[in-house]
C-alpha cells in the first residue's frame, strides 16, 4: 500500500487569491517546492484535495481548474521540485455531497484509486475544514498551516519522524 500527504491547495501550496483558476495568478507560498520534494523523497504520494465551489457558482470551469493544475505541476518541475501525483476537487456549493471538506469523500476516493493506507498518511491545509477532513478520513495526523507553521515546517516534521 502507498502512503500519502494530502494537501489543500489555496492557502497551503499557493497564495489564496479567491476563486483562483488563471495560471497567471499562480504564486507559490515560500518553501513549497522544497517541501513537496522533501515529502516525495520520503516515499509519500502527493495528492491535492480542494473545494472548488467557483465551478458550481459559474466563475470558472472544470477545464479551467485542470489547466491551472497542469501549470502548477509544470512550474514545480521547472523549480527543481516534483509534480503533484493527483488532484481531486469538489465543485459543489450548497449541495448534498460527500466530497466537500470537512467531509472525507475526496480523501477516501483517492485512497481507493491509489491503494493508500490512510493510517500512514497525513493532511495539511490552511483551514479547520481541512484538518477535520483528515480526521474524518482516519488519517494518521492532520496539520493546519498558519503564519508560524508553513507547509515546509510540517514537511520537515513528517520527514523527521520517518
Do the beta carbons of residue 126 and residue 146 sit within 8 Å? yes
Distance in angstroms (rounded) separating the CA atoms of residues 142 and 118: 11
Active-site position among 10, 16, 126, 130: 10
Helix, strand, or coil (residue 90): strand
Distance in angstroms (rounded) separating the CA atoms of residues 102 and 17: 21
The residue written with cell numbers 485542470 in the block is 66
- The residues, any chain, with a CB within 8 Å of residue 6's CB and separated by 6 or more, are 47, 48, 49, 107, 110, 121, 122, 123, 124, 134, 139
Active-site position among 8, 16, 98, 117: 8
Tell me the backbone φ, ψ of residue 41, rounded to 5 degrees. -65, -20
Task: State yes or no: is 27 an active-site residue.
Answer: no
Task: State yes or no: is 25 an active-site residue.
Answer: no
Which residues are marked as active site? 8, 10
Amino acid at each position: 500500500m502507498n502512503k500519502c500527504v494530502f494537501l489543500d491547495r489555496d492557502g497551503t501550496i499557493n497564495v489564496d487569491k479567491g476563486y483562483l483558476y488563471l495560471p497567471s495568478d499562480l504564486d507559490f507560498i515560500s518553501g513549497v517546492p522544497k517541501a513537496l520534494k522533501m515529502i516525495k523523497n520520503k516515499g509519500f504520494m502527493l495528492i491535492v484535495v480542494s473545494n472548488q465551489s467557483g465551478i458550481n457558482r459559474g466563475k470558472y470551469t472544470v477545464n479551467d481548474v485542470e489547466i491551472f493544475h497542469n501549470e502548477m505541476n509544470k512550474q514545480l518541475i521547472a523549480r527543481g521540485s516534483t509534480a503533484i501525483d493527483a488532484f481531486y476537487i469538489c465543485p459543489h456549493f450548497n449541495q448534498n455531497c460527500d466530497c466537500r471538506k470537512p467531509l472525507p469523500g475526496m480523501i477516501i476516493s483517492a485512497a481507493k484509486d491509489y491503494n493508500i493506507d490512510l493510517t500512514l498518511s497525513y493532511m495539511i491545509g490552511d483551514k479547520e475544514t481541512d484538518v477535520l477532513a483528515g480526521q474524518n478520513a482516519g488519517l494518521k495526523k492532520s496539520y493546519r498551516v498558519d503564519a508560524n507553521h508553513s507547509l515546509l515546517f510540517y514537511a520537515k516534521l513528517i520527514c523527521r519522524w520517518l
